[in-house]
Chain A
């Protein structure tokens, strides 16, 4: 049970960081949560984190960096990496749409503020939801569903995230100008690879 809670939380955490610029509330968590600080050592060590007010951290450091890393300079969408013409598929032919639909998930673009459903933040959040579903199945002692959900997670990782997210995350790490995004990139890369290895063994 611990394991699934941990996985679910980490997917959620990474999803949130990579999806959109941070807000005050989430910044507070990132600044103060000991687990986060353990995951993100450079962030923990960063002086400004301790000294500057949130507004300044966001407006002068984190948000400009996020804008550079996910909007201006790098492209956090799967189809950019998987299509030969490097176009982001914003229509119905996006390869993740089908799998979301299969589980009755529909991306709410008003909330997500992305141009297509294959954004890294969306795919990570989808993994989070699959973990939540697995957690529920465990609670209900539904072993069949647990096994099935693990298969789905493994499949999704291998057909989507792992196909491209490492490339993005490596670039993210190199391009990051703030310790938070540097650490997030490294953590996310390590985590999805490690999670896949675990799932591969279990599935």
Chain B
């Protein structure tokens, strides 16, 4: 009441001498700014915080500029419009899906193409991608900084006439000239038609990041010389999968596991699929899963694990077999699974091998019977030596931790997901046996292929990129009419390593320069190439990434061995420096690829696309030359004369290698719709996806948005960028054989149902369409199921074929040497850095194989963002006790001498910085081999070279809303006289100016040295100047480690062929004049080291050999004619 009374007083407010409106400050504006917000869709209080608009808005999506929040947002300024010019800028986007290419995981990306400037303003994730779920790691977002890297190669480069490889003299050339030279050389070589010629045009990749396209090209060329980097990466990780289940690798179900059992940090930290895997591992841990990380180094994952185990490198089998021992003796075996799916009958019926086991004392006596219980007793007998005490002594892991591991293992039952990839596998001789042991022990508890368990790659993968054949004149549907290759290339599949997993690519320069080796096999009836007519890496940097880099340089510089060298590379690299041609094909947002990976128990594929081309086409632009649409689009968008590999290969095959069709290559890549012309992207991928993914095809044909499209399946993938063909794929071996219309189907292959037969072991065979009889399944408990794809259709716990046919009987079962004598006998599976070799006070096992999450080999030095966050000088991790003992303090320069434990030879040394830490197992060291990039000069001058006839990219401003701009397209792209102006390129370019310091190298054929002379400096650039306006802020020197790969000698694993990366090293203080980053290499010794591993350890082909390699195991890339496997080695 009081206030009601007092209110009368307030009525006096009417009497104010100045009206309220004049007194009030007037803080509200109801003018243009407010109107602008009202007229827009923007609000400060959105209903959701989704990063991504719904798909139907991707063609036209508006978003406020990022400076919005810095400036106070639309609250203060409103939205920019004609009436409100000071408002927050609105971007007009077209969102185009693509896929990352900075590692192998192929996470989804979306490029946010600014329509007003035809530039990509940002890369985000693709919410439609089943594996990455809209998320990316730093490398994904960094694709933009790679796209607008000021040093990206602007046009095709050719080594300057008259100069030698490595002199660094370049001229601008045209795509046509390059393709004419390369195509003619390839065509002339292929036309010879002899066996050698089919091995002499080599393609070489790092990460293929596509599923089958280039292999199909090489298949149509009739060549057995598709080469990959796999042997320096993962051969030891894949070999155990091939032995155990005849699949390429595991595919764990992280998300549903109870125990995430990581052998190395790889899956959760930095390596394969880590961004996707880490998300699923986090999901599992949220549900209560536990994570164990085994790694001698405290990785990021180990730091957050429930249990960190730091075993001596390569000794992990001792742990797995200790677990097996306890599981067997404590009666924790999942008998139902083991009885059903282990190939125990094969072993129990193999008397010869059982006797061998007794003879080798693997078992103390022959089994009492041949039944399952006797099998279990045999296993108990075999694994009883692997006690807790043994495991502790061999691995250096305290017993209590091993017991803890066992508890967790048993607690998780059959929901154990595991991965053996890098670290133990890639680092150690015999690392593959660690995989075999872990598969054995997870098999014992039934964690194979089930929910939460560990499945297999080919269950969860889609490979259709090479199957667009129905769009061509000659290939036939899915490539069925492509002739199989009749050749066997000893440079990639040498006779010493008949079981090698993938090509022995890291030995290429050694094999090419080892005349003695060539002669030996030529004398015995093989035809070993002594040179390559054409060597064509793609975006690959073998000089830097492989062991013994100086040997690579020697061979690449030798024009008699490497007659023509071409790198399809958008960026500078150590390797490019020694090439004849560097042809800029595109990065993640600048190329087409079908790319699928087994990142979860499902089959998905991504579709990588040149996003600016797609944006142009969606806006209504049409290329003048449909076979070079991506090249035209990139020129139009100002990226330079940057092309993509698909169109390059189509064009190369049709118009340059076989222009008259006499080699039957032209027909393979000629468009069925437009005979005589190369097939187009839309034609090829419409067929590749549509012919081979039935669920996708059906979905598209029932979607009225696409049914009227000329290429409906292509259009669907263009718009979505990802597809899930099948979800929740488990225990595929249990699937029953389907019989329909006289055909029986197994693993998506069809066979004649009438020809089915069952042998005494229950194995079902049938005839394929060529009439060849193949194993297709197995009868289990009366049911006809697919089984696994091994010869026994079960899990090859006993790998009989390895024992009987391929000379490795002692390694047919999971095993680890039980004493020093066995370490000598079983040297093939004993790590070359085992502690038995560490005899000197200053000797250590160097763990080299780990990655940084924001770098990947050579794919990141062109990204300013990744470089800025990865400057750490790649130190030597040394345990505090060891450092104290040797007198090393943090920051000290130390010489790391690499010594081979097979030949006793020394490879040289590198100088690195010591960082004492508790995060590494005493006696071992860690230093990632991803450091030490180099270049020989800061800049190269490559004049535009087109002062006459230089063609502007267009007249109209780059704006997708501008009709004039969409009407324009450069004519005759790639042809002489049609070279275009490169935006702001004035004739000189830097070389990875954000990432790579300058070094001097010296080499004399036997010894090599490298010394850094200048770090990175701030700089100014006119190319993509606005985007790179911060180049003057560079604060780092880029001196991040040593090029230790060059010091490393090749260590070919005698079974898998893997280059075993770890080293025995001797540490000593740096000497006067040493600087961190220096290396010295005796590469003459390195040649001898390779020879010692080859001659002392391998068990190659001999005069008894009938086959080059087992026919049933995977030999990737091109399909071989079965006769290519036959071999006759003279005595």
Contact = CB atoms under 8 A, between A and B. Distances in A.
Interface of A: 2-3, 5-13, 15-16, 19-20, 26, 29, 32-36, 38-39, 91-93, 97-98, 100-101, 104-112, 114, 117, 121-122, 125-126, 128-129, 131-132, 190-191, 193-195, 197-198
A104 B35 CA distance: 7
A107 B12 contact: no
B13 interface: yes
Contacts of A3: 11, 14
Interface string B17-50: 1111101111111100111011000011100000
A129 B28 contact: yes
Contact of B7 (A29, A100, A194): A194
Contacts of A132: 20-21
Interface string B658-670: 0000000000000
A7 B13 contact: yes
A29 B382 CA distance: 103
A38 B12 contact: yes
Contacts of A38: 9, 12
B12 A6 contact: yes
Contacts of B18: 29, 33
A54 B342 CA distance: 98
B332 interface: no
A132 B584 CA distance: 67
Given A106-B34, A126-B28, A193-B3, A12 B75 contact: no
A16 B23 CA distance: 7
Chain A to chain B: the 6 pairs with minimum beta-carbon distance, closest first: A92-B44, A12-B20, A194-B3, A6-B13, A9-B20, A106-B34
B30 A97 contact: no
B20 A11 contact: yes
Nearest to A114: B27
A105 B35 CA distance: 9
Contacts of A128: 20-21, 24
B73 interface: yes
A7 B37 CA distance: 30
B78 interface: yes
A22 to B, nearest CB: 11
Interface residues of B, number: 39
A92 B73 contact: yes
A33 B35 CA distance: 37
Nearest to A17: B23
A190 B75 CA distance: 31
B75 A97 contact: yes
Contact of B29 (A19, A92, A108): A108
Given A6-B11, A13-B13, A92 B27 contact: no
B17 A16 contact: no
A51 B16 CA distance: 23
Interface in B44-91: 44-45, 69, 72-73, 75-76, 78
Contacts of B11: 2-3, 6
Contacts of A100: 28
B16 A98 contact: no
B26 to A, nearest CB: 7
Interface string B662-689: 0000000000000000000000000000
Given A38-B12, A97-B75, A10 B35 contact: no
Contact of A6 (B4, B14, B44, B78): B14
Nearest to A28: B18
Given A106-B33, A106-B37, A194-B6, A33 B28 contact: no
B29 A106 contact: yes
Interface in B966-986: none
Given A6-B14, A108-B76, 15 more contacts: A11-B20, A15-B24, A16-B23, A19-B25, A26-B23, A29-B18, A106-B30, A106-B78, A107-B75, A108-B28, A122-B27, A125-B26, A126-B28, A128-B21, A132-B20
A195 B25 CA distance: 21
A9 B16 contact: yes
Interface of B: 3-4, 6-7, 9-21, 23-30, 33-35, 37-38, 43-45, 69, 72-73, 75-76, 78
A125 B24 contact: yes
Given A5-B14, A92-B75, A19 B27 contact: yes
A29 B28 contact: no
A98 B47 CA distance: 13
A107 B17 CA distance: 27
Nearest to A109: B76
B10 A112 contact: no
Nearest to B46: A92
A9 B16 CA distance: 7
Contacts of A114: 27
A75 to B, nearest CB: 18
Contacts of A11: 20, 24
25 contacts: A5-B13, A5-B20, A6-B10, A6-B12, A10-B10, A12-B24, A13-B16, A15-B25, A16-B23, A16-B25, A34-B17, A35-B16, A93-B45, A104-B30, A105-B29, A106-B30, A107-B29, A107-B76, A108-B27, A112-B25, A125-B25, A125-B26, A194-B3, A195-B7, A195-B10
A93 B44 contact: yes
A142 to B, nearest CB: 19
A193 B10 CA distance: 12
A42 B338 CA distance: 95
B1104 to A, nearest CB: 78
A13 to B, nearest CB: 5
A11 B23 CA distance: 10
B71 to A, nearest CB: 10
Contacts of B35: 104
B312 to A, nearest CB: 51
Contacts of A111: 25-27, 29
A50 to B, nearest CB: 18
A16 to B, nearest CB: 5
A13 B23 contact: yes
A66 B25 CA distance: 16
A116 to B, nearest CB: 9
Q: Which of B6, B15, B27, B44 gathers most chain A CB within 10 Å? A: B27
A189 to B, nearest CB: 10
Contacts of B20: 5, 8-13, 128, 131-132
A32 B38 CA distance: 42
A102 B73 CA distance: 17
Given A10-B13, A35-B12, A193-B3, A109 B72 contact: yes
A29 B4 contact: no
B176 to A, nearest CB: 55
B15 A35 contact: yes
B23 A12 contact: yes
Q: Which of B13, B72, B75, B76 gathers most chain A CB within 10 Å? A: B13
A33 B16 contact: yes
B17 A33 contact: yes
Contacts of A125: 24-28
Contacts of A110: 76
Q: Which of B29, B75, B78 gathers most chain A CB within 10 Å? A: B75
Contacts of A8: 13, 20-21
Contacts of B73: 91-92
Nearest to B42: A92
Contacts of A15: 24-25
Given A35-B13, A100-B28, A105-B30, A9 B75 contact: no
A197 B8 CA distance: 13
B38 to A, nearest CB: 6
B24 A16 contact: yes
Contacts of A36: 16
Given A20-B25, A128-B24, A198-B4, A104 B38 contact: yes
Nearest to B28: A105
A195 B13 CA distance: 13
Given A35-B17, A105-B30, A7 B25 contact: no
B79 to A, nearest CB: 11
Nearest to A100: B28
A26 B25 CA distance: 10
